Amino acid sequence: MASPKEGVLRRVELSDVRAPKPLMPAEIERCLTPRQRQVLDSLETLVVSVELADMTMAQIAAQVNCSLRTLYGILPSKEELVLTILDRRLHRIGRTAIESMDPEESPLVNLRRYLRAAHEAVQPTGGVLSEDYKKTPGHRGLAEAHEKYLVGIVKGLLDQALSQGDIIPIDTWTMAYVLGGLGRDFLSPNVRTEISESPKDAADAALEVIIRGLSTS
């Protein structure tokens, strides 16, 4: 049975864009104990408010009121645990972004919906792309894999909009790369000090300007 996300992708004709595989496959997660799965869920909630990268395994265990044995039973190192939690969070944000699209709407409307929802990843409450997590081994590859998927979805929507005459002639890959990096760019420490709004709000505002410039209507 198809998931809600897969169903939406089929209906908006983007099912050929493949999401990155979860660091913890579903079949592995199903082998965890109910308590371990509960701890994973708690850590995913915690990652939006606490910098897990700066904590020891003992401190993390204390935060979610579990034993070290329970944590090490999930994954053998703090780095793997933190990276897996970040990956779960990014997949959750990605599913929400996909499910925000409406097959009855135009590609441009869905582009706006998708990216505004995806920009949640750069919110303080998103917690997953902050500078503090960049020192976690494997973070860069993880972020790049999710961004590559995002760019693929955006390019697909731009291709649809172009074929329908909804946007001016452009190189859709180049524009998808620009749009896909808006959140990341506004999250940069050098940029954050220059803007008066949150990275998400800045990315959403820039998105609106770009969409208006692309639209033929």
The DSSP result for 90-149, as a single string, is HHHHHHHHHHT--TTS-HHHHHHHHHHHHGGGGSTTT-SS-GGGTTSTTHHHHHHHHHHH
Domain with residue 45: its CATH number is 1.10.357.10
Structural domain of residue 196, as residue ranges? 4-214
According to DSSP H, which parts of the chain are helical?
4-11, 26-30, 34-46, 57-63, 68-74, 78-99, 107-118, 139-163, 172-180, 182-187, 189-192, 199-214
Name the nearest CA neighbour of 110 among 170, 148, 152, 156.
156
Q: For residue 46, which amino acid is it?
A: L
CA distance 172 to 160: 10
DSSP reduced 3-state for 199: helix
pLDDT in tens, the chain (217 residues): 456 666 676 666 787 888 899 999 999 999 999 999 999 999 988 877 777 878 899 999 999 999 999 999 999 999 999 999 999 999 999 999 999 999 899 999 999 999 999 999 887 655 566 666 677 788 889 989 999 999 999 999 999 999 999 999 999 999 999 999 998 888 888 888 899 898 899 999 999 999 999 999 8
Domain count, the chain: 1
Task: Name the pTM for this structure.
Answer: 0.88
